[in-house]
């Protein structure tokens, strides 16, 4: 009796492990990633500076290639933190509530600013993301 109970319990445990559904992390929906709003290399002054939002000087390598940015964003969101700056969490909710939009824009900005290492990326003024953040924060 004990032997059959042990066998039955073991078989049930094995089946439950192998029958468990697998969850696959999906990438960020690119439709939730606003365009940068700034053209890379615009207004170059010959010294490596270009013009960002409101004419503020930015590196001419900014903003990054959209595909490169979305790949980095996907890696950060999948990890739950900025790969190149682990203390920064990277939530990316898909809803439209104010807190969800604030979380998304914060993750976009932290990904942008930490693209190649801690604090090594593109400044917020190399995109319209800072302006979008202000608009979202002003919502009721």
pTM of the model: 0.80
Average pLDDT over residues 43-53: 94
Tokens 């924060």 sit at which residue? 137
With helix as H, strand as E and coil as C, how does the chain read? CHHHHHHHHHHHHHHHHHHCCCCCCCCCCHHHCCCCCCCCCCCCCCCCEEECHHHCEEECCCCCCHHHHHHHHHHHHHHCEECCEEEEECCCCCCCCHHHHHHHHHHHHHHHHCCCECCECCCHHHCCHHHHHHHHHCCC
Report residue 6's pLDDT band, with 50, 70 and 90 as the boundaries.
very low
User: Taken in order 10, 11, 16, 18, is the CA torsion positive or negative?
Assistant: positive
CA distance 82 to 10: 41
Write out pLDDT tens, residues 50-66. 999 999 999 999 999 99
136 pLDDT more than 60: yes
Query: In whole numbers, what is the pLDDT of the chain averaged over residues?
Result: 87
Q: Domain map of the chain by residue range?
A: 27-137
């Amino acid at each position: 009796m004990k032997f059959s109970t042990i066998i039955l319990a073991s078989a049930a445990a094995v089946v439950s492990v192998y029958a468990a559904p697998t969850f696959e992390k999906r990438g960020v929906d690119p439709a939730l990633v606003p365009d940068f709003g700034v053209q890379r290399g615009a207004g170059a002054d010959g010294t490596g500076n270009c013009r960002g939002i409101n004419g503020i000087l930015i590196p001419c390598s900014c903003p990054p290639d959209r595909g490169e940015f979305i790949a980095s964003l996907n890696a950060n969101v999948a990890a739950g933190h900025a790969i190149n700056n682990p203390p920064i969490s990277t939530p990316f909710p898909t809803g439209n509530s104010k807190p969800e939009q604030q979380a998304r824009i914060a993750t976009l900005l932290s990904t942008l600013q930490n693209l190649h290492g801690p604090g090594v990326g593109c400044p917020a003024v190399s995109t319209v993301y800072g302006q979008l953040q202000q608009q979202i924060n002003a919502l009721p």
